[in-house]
Amino acid sequence: MVDFEEHRPTLLGLAYRLLGSMWDAEDVVQEAWLRWQAADRGEVRDPRAFLVTVVSRLALDQLRSARVKREAYTGPWLPEPVPTAEAGPLDTAELRDTVSYATLHMMERLSPPERAVFVLREAFEFPYDEIARIAGLSVANARQLHHRASVRLADGRDRFRPTDEEHGKLLTRFMEAAAGGDLEALTEILHEDVVSWNDGGGRVRAALRPILGRRKVAAFLHALTSRCGVEVVVTEANGGPALWSTVEGESQLTLITVRDGRISEIFTMRNPDKLRRMRPADL
């Protein structure tokens, strides 16, 4: 029992990175606890390795079935945002990067084995032979999957990532321009190829397709904020700044990705089922 509780934050962080859903991650960790209770402790030489293996395999199985459900989801499926404190250990740059909202979203492009290998290698620094054992692969295949995943994810990343301070300042400018209905200022801070993703999950009104391009995104945001009051609070999610707001009577959380000093992606979570952990204390 003591061993399991010692490793629970790491296991939860691993499962969340693999699944993009804390709700599902908690189910996986609970199942891992049941298997730990039933295990012959005398045969378990390394509790951490045993538990990581169990969680990884359970998450892989769940991720394969989840992909089918996400394809039938109403509108774009976005990861469930979580308070930074609930994301597990963030002791290294790799742990912080793999829990960032943009990275979680990009990891949806990967196959389940690619995602598992990438997370185990990048975030938790497992050697390839251990990853191969956990995922049921050859060492050569594990290396190949990691390389393929790294290349696919690199296409969506900015080589020169902004500091937290720069990110926060741009988010504040975005908040002020959007809430103030300043279309010119809003357009200025958007990247030419900006994409706006909105997840309502069929529960609340949200754009059913990604909105592409600076002009369309700016017009969409301007139309949305100009016809109703917007109450905004700056908060933090997934290791970075985020905006909690109320638009048309519905709560939402907005996160951004920055490229070339401008906002390149806007993620707006409106699905109330995915916002249960995120409500700021001052709202």
State yes or no: pLDDT of 161 exceeds 80: no
State yes or no: pLDDT of 223 exceeds 60: yes
Going edge to edge, which strands form the sheet with 240-247?
211-212, 190-199, 262-269, 250-259, 240-247, 231-237
DSSP 85: G
Asked if residues 163 and 188 have their Cβ atoms less than 8 Å apart, the reply is no
Asked if residues 14 and 22 have their Cβ atoms less than 8 Å apart, the reply is no
Instruction: Give strand pairing partners of 255.
Output: 267
Asked if residues 283 and 233 have their Cβ atoms less than 8 Å apart, the reply is yes
Helix (H) or strand (E) holding 167: helix 164-180
Tokens (6 digits) for 112: 């389940």
Tokens 């907005």 label which residue? Answer: 254
Tokens (6 digits) for 69: 């459900």
Question: Which residue segments constitute the domains of the chain, with CATH numbers given?
Answer: 2-154 (1.20.140.160), 164-274 (3.10.450.50)
- Pick the residue with more confidence: 181 or 200? 200
pLDDT band at 75 (very low <50, low <70, confident <90, very high): very high
Tokens 């990861």 label which residue? Answer: 79
Tokens (6 digits) for 48: 């951490």
Q: Of 22, 240, 178, give the one whose Cα is nearest residue 9.
A: 22
Q: Is 105 exposed, middle or buried (0-12, 13-18, 19+ CB in 10 A)?
A: buried
Q: Of 40, 43, 17, give the one whose Cα is nearest residue 29.
A: 17
Stretch 67-87: mean pLDDT, rounded?
91
pLDDT band at 168 (very low <50, low <70, confident <90, very high): confident
Dihedral class, residue 106 (left if φ above 0, else alpha if ψ from -120 to 50, else beta): alpha
Torsion angle of the four alpha carbons 235, 241, 246, 252, in this order, in degrees rounded to the nearest 10: -110
Tokens 């249960």 label which residue? Answer: 276
Tokens (6 digits) for 181: 């209905």
Residue partners of 229: CB distance under 8 A and separation at least 6: none
pLDDT in tens, 130-155: 999 999 999 999 999 999 999 999 87
Q: Is 189 helix (H, G, I), strand (E, B) or coil?
A: coil
Stretch 190-207: mean pLDDT, rounded?
94
pLDDT in tens, 235-275: 899 999 999 988 778 899 999 999 888 999 999 999 999 99
Tokens (6 digits) for 175: 């908040």
State yes or no: pLDDT of 81 exceeds 50: yes
Rounded distance, CA 271 to CA 77, Å? 10
**Percent of the chain scoring above 90 in pLDDT:** 63
